[in-house]
Structure 1
């Protein structure tokens, strides 16, 4: 085999290796956290849809309006703020202050109840990360 043929073979092998590696890598959404389906499943297991919907105006269980803010609104309000992921994770786990209702007029509930019994810290952090990556639509 000639040197030129060996070089072409090596180049083809390198390209094939790179393509296989790229195919095995997760998508940007998956690398950053949960897929949409996994986030919806995790939220449902923790009972989040009882109070929240992804979209503003969506109905909750049994056709009732959501008690808490829509997640796209949460994303729009907090995305890019330093420490938002930590603060929101703690709000999920420990609840929020009913006297500091910054969603007044946008949600019917006064405060977020503590949810540490329904969702663990790692899963809460993943879900909050997914919420913060939602587009504002």
Structure 2
């Protein structure tokens, strides 16, 4: 009986633990289909093309930067849909890309909101 209870607990807890760790398969697939993973990674510290810094910031770094900020989800959704201004880049020196291109042709706004919500809910990297 104990083994069955532990197995049931593991089945219930596994998705929550995976989501907390950033391994949400639905969100990963959404990001992959929209082309987000061409420039972004979930985990910080990865390299981009030719060993350069990644093109876009790691999503855990995004979560850390915007943690607790009111309006962050709405602002980031606008950035995903319309792109960002290369002259206002706050990731300068940390990424090799200058700006995020508009993505309205690659992802629906409702899906962008879901993805941004998931990104902002990621556990922040410990320093």
Verify: 1:93 aligned to 2:86, yes or no.
no
The verdict on how the C-alpha distance between 1:62 and 1:110 changes in structure 2, with shifts beyond 3 A counting, is: closer
Q: TM-score, normalised by structure 2?
A: 0.76
Cα offset for 1:42? Answer: 0.3
Distance in 1 between the 2:117 and 2:49 partners?
24
Give the one of 20, 23, 44 matched to 1:56: 44
Larger of the two Rg values belongs to structure: 1
Superposition CA RMSD, Å: 2.5
**Larger RCO of the pair (alpha carbons < 8 Å, separation 6+):** 2
SS in 1 for 2:115: helix
Cα offset for 1:80? Answer: 1.2
The verdict on how the C-alpha distance between 1:97 and 1:130 changes in structure 2, with shifts beyond 3 A counting, is: same
Contact 2:62 2:119 in 1 (8 A): yes
SS in 1 for 2:87: coil
Contact 2:53 2:94 in 1 (8 A): no
Q: TM-score, normalised by structure 1?
A: 0.71
Contact 2:60 2:119 in 1 (8 A): yes
**Which ranges of structure 1 fall in alignment gaps of 5 or more residues?**
1-22
The verdict on how the C-alpha distance between 1:65 and 1:49 changes in structure 2, with shifts beyond 3 A counting, is: farther
Aligned length: 110
The verdict on how the C-alpha distance between 1:127 and 1:62 changes in structure 2, with shifts beyond 3 A counting, is: farther
